[in-house]
């Protein structure tokens, strides 16, 4: 499937049972809610998907099940977060076999590779597959930045098409647009900078709190797309305390707790993660409960 790098693409959480197995039933409940809200793609196995805890077989099951469930309605991307180039090439091969539409790729894990090593890593994988690739640029969490100079080299690979821009530097959207125009599509990856990034020219939003609040997330995107900025801003201001749950070391637990509150998820996480407890849990629940009490009435954003 051709990927249009635009719109809202949820970085979906991976659902587990009490016995620490994949909960495909609840996973599909959430996918259904995302599709009904009008999302533009699905991203599997990212940070929110607890990628580092998933086996290769579990990733493959999630990919196959998602591809079958969405049935061509939207593209399905699987994240590649590997320690070796060989492992990343193998992951890309499996993703293609399992029906994925594209890849989201982090730089090498654990080893802090140099710029040349990172470029060669991405290029080797890109040259091994026909799948389109979105580079996940998150130096805050993963300690490696893909600079504009590095992208200059990477864009010789035609299937490197987009960046998940998570540097936290809002001006980087403008730098990328000034340097590469539409050659490198920008999907903002920081919930608390999402509307700002879209207004500065980002093409779409790889979102987190969308997992619990899909309609509100898509509404913000669609309203700003047609220039109804004031309405988008009103929803975004309501949303911000919830969005801040995404920029936290416990973002997985936070967002899963929000999914429980909106009826489209469970709280089960995979160890070493544990469900929130004590005061930390009370504070997160307070934010979620206030958001639900003040939830805005949405316009007919699907027909703009």
The answer as to whether 95 is a domain residue is yes
Query: Strand runs (DSSP E) across 32-182, as ranges?
Result: 42-44, 76-80, 102-105, 133-137, 160-165
Q: Which of 292, 275, 153 is nearest to 212 (CA)?
A: 292
The answer as to whether 124 is a domain residue is yes
Q: Which of 204, 198, 211 is nearest to 243 (CA)?
A: 211
pLDDT in tens, 119-178: 999 999 999 999 999 999 999 989 999 999 999 999 999 999 999 999 999 999 999 999
The answer as to whether 22 is a domain residue is yes
What's the total number of domains in the chain? 1
The answer as to whether 28 is a domain residue is yes
**Residue 196: strand, helix, or coil:** helix
Q: Look at the block and give the residue holding tokens 């996973």.
A: 27
Q: Look at the block and give the residue holding tokens 């939207």.
A: 74
pLDDT of residue 111: 87
pLDDT of residue 141: 87
The answer as to whether 1 is a domain residue is no
The answer as to whether 138 is a domain residue is yes
Instruction: Give me the domain span that covers residue 269.
Output: 7-303
pLDDT in tens, 161-213: 999 999 999 999 999 999 999 999 999 999 999 999 999 999 999 999 999 99
Measured between alpha carbons, how far is residue 231 from residues 73, 108, 241, 285 in Å? 28, 40, 18, 26
How far apart are the C-alpha atoms of 256 and 212, rounded to whole Å? 8
The answer as to whether 2 is a domain residue is no
Check which CATH number belongs to the domain holding 288 and give it: 3.20.20.70
The percent of residues above 70 in pLDDT, for the chain, comes to 100
């Amino acid at each position: 499937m051709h990927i249009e790098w635009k719109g809202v693409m949820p970085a979906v959480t991976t659902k587990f049972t009490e016995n620490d197995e994949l909960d495909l039933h609840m996973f599909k409940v959430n996918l259904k809610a995302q599709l009904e809200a009008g999302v533009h793609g699905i991203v599997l196995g990212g940070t929110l998907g607890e990628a580092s805890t998933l086996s290769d077989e579990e990733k493959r099951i999630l990919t196959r099940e998602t591809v079958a469930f969405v049935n061509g309605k939207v593209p399905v991307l699987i994240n590649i977060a590997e320690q070796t180039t060989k492992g990343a090439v193998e992951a890309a091969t499996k993703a293609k076999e399992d029906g994925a539409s594209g890849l989201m790729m982090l730089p090498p894990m654990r080893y802090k590779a140099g710029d040349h090593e990172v470029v060669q890593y991405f290029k080797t994988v890109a040259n091994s597959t026909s799948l389109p690739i979105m580079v996940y640029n998150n130096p805050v969490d993963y300690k490696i930045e893909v600079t504009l100079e590095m992208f200059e080299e990477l864009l010789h690979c035609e299937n490197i098409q987009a960046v998940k821009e998570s540097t936290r530097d809002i001006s980087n959207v403008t730098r990328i647009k000034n340097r590469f125009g539409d050659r490198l599509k920008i999907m903002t990856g920081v919930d608390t900078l999402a509307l700002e990034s879209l207004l500065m020219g980002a093409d779409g939003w790889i979102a987190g709190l969308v997992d619990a609040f899909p309609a509100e997330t898509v509404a913000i995107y669609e309203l700003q797309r047609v220039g109804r900025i004031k309405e988008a801003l009103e929803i975004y201001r309501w949303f911000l305390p919830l969005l801040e749950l995404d920029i936290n070391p416990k973002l997985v637990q936070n967002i899963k707790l929000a999914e429980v509150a909106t009826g489209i998820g469970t709280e089960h996480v995979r160890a070493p993660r544990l469900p929130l407890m004590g005061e930390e849990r009370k504070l997160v629940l307070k934010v979620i409960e206030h958001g639900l009490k003040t939830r805005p009435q949405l316009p007919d954003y699907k027909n703009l």
